[in-house]
Structure 1
């Protein structure tokens, strides 16, 4: 172990150093409480052996500082005192000390105390490791519960938390948001024809494409099944319409073969757009309902298009049909 000895008396300090090193431990010496504290802040030590009575910073203050430190390991603290100061042992223990030794130093007593210190510090190191592992596990569980396991996008739990934060921002700062509800066209037919595993691969590829098309600050979630939700901060309905068509075009350009899509034989998406700003007298639920209703109109109007809740006749951007590619090389 590495042991810090704080002792202002030279003879006593040399005796303690000789005893500590004879037991196979590393000894660091300080001639005052102030020096001991500086060393403690810069060097990792397992044990502090400190005289209780020193000029300037005494052992009591040093012990209190050691106990209040933010180090992630436990330091065993032993007070040195003379026999007629036995009554002061209680005050030392109340300050945070673990044990005490009487002067003149007895080598056998020191060996016994250091055995105990070794066991206690080892136990604390184990507890610190377990606490760190538990914290990492809790963090992983926290992240996993907020991430959709198939697509890697935000889950419904993450969405609910973010929507609460968005509503608070709308009320406090008057920010505006745009919601884009997306849905894979004829996805049931794709699953029926190709199987659910192929359908899962399509959802993964669609999710990655949407994510790569997002701007910094946009938030994207798997809303359920083949449905995705994208939230755009500080965007009005017109900007949301442009963004939704950009997402639609990005999916179309992948050209995943889809025999169940009668329009063009590839995987496409439809989208509904709705905006929300603080002065509007509606709820978060009402906002998402508007986006969902606009998506429904896009489906009814022929799919592979974008509609808004205020613009039922939005027309998709013109585009040429891309060439088809083998799904085995496109979907991963």
Structure 2
């Protein structure tokens, strides 16, 4: 362990340093509480052995500051006290100390206390590492639940959470959003002829192209099956139509062969666009239904095209 020794008496400090070193530990020494606190802030220590009475800052204040420091790792704290001052032990424990040693120092008393300190700090390190690992896993699970595993776009859960915020911003601040609902044309026929693995490759390629074509701020989700949803903040309906056409062209330019697409002979998408704004006063559900209805019209009219909602 690395042990910080705080002792204003030079002779006692040298004895304590020698004792700590003789037991195989690294020692960092301070001549008073102020210096001990500065060292604690800059040096990673496992334990502190501090005299209770020191100039500038006493051991009680040093202990309180260490306990309030918020360090991830636990610092074991041992007070030094004279035989005639054992009544001060309670106040030291109340300040956050773990143990105490009586003056003059007895090596046979120091050894077991440092063994306990080593076990306690080691246990706290393990717990801290496990806690950090659990936090990382929780973050990963949080992100995984909000990411579609096939396309790496936002999942329906992520969409549901984002829609709540979008509706609140539109209602409170008057922000407007365009929604682009799109899906892959004749995708079932592609699956039937090429197989589901090839179909998954197409969905990944489409999603990747949508992400590469997206502008900063565009929010992309896999809505379900071969259907995708793109939300464009602070965009008018005309802006949404231009963006949807940009997405449509990017997919067509992939030139993925699709013999079951009777006109294009490559993979294409159809898209419907709708607007959400406070002026329109519609619900999020109605907004997405309008985009979906526009998508349906795009398909009825021959696919591989962009259609705006009738509601506008």
**TM-score (structure 1 length as normaliser):** 0.92
1:198-277 pair list within 5 angstroms:
198-277=198-277
Question: Which residue of structure 2 aligns with residue 324 of structure 1?
Answer: none
Instruction: Quote how far apart the aligned CAs of 1:311 are.
Output: 7.8
2:116 corresponds to which residue? 116
1:178 aligns with 2:178: yes
Correspondence 1:67 to 2:67: yes
Give yes or no for the alignment of 1:130 onto 2:130: yes
- Per-residue deviation, residues 120-160 of structure 1 (Å, max 9, x unmatched): 11111111111111111111111111100000111001111
CA contact (8 A) 2:185 2:269 kept: yes
The 5-angstrom pairing of residues 287-298 of structure 1 reads 287-298=287-298
CA distance in 1, matches of 2:61, 2:50: 11
Alignment of 1:149-168 (within 5 A): 149-168=149-168
RMSD: 1.1
Give the Cα–Cα distance (whole angstroms) in 1 for the partners of residues 198 and 287 of structure 2.
33
Distance 2:293 2:252 in 1: 22
1:327 alignment partner in structure 2: none
Cα displacement string for residues 95-128 of structure 1 (whole angstroms, at most 9, x for unaligned residues): 1111100111111100110010011111111111
2:41 — aligned with what? 41
Cα deviation, residue 280, structure 1: 2.1
Query: Structure 2: how far apart are the matches of 1:124 and 1:283?
Result: 51
Q: Do structure 1's residue 12 and structure 2's residue 12 form an aligned pair?
A: yes
Question: Which ranges in structure 1 are unaligned for 5 or more consecutive residues?
Answer: 313-332
Under a length normalisation based on structure 2, what TM-score does the superposition of the two structures give?
A: 0.98
Cα distance in structure 2, aligned partners of 1:28 and 1:106: 20
Unaligned runs of 5+ in 2: none
Q: Give the equivalent residue in structure 1 for 2:300.
A: 300
The separation in 2 between residues aligned to 1:47 and 1:231, in whole angstroms, is 54
Measure, in 2, the Cα distance between the counterparts of 1:163 and 1:100. 58
Check the 8 A contact 2:252/2:267 in 1, yes or no: yes
- Native 8 Å contact 2:290 2:311 kept in 1: no
Mapped partners of 1:61, 1:133: distance in 2:
33
User: What is the Cα deviation at residue 279 of structure 1?
Assistant: 2.5
Q: Deviating runs (4+, > 6 A) in structure 1?
A: none
Compared with structure 1, are the counterparts of its residues 311 and 258 closer, same or farther at alpha carbon in structure 2 (3 Å cutoff)? farther
Aligned partners of 1:94, 1:290: CA distance in 2, in Å?
66
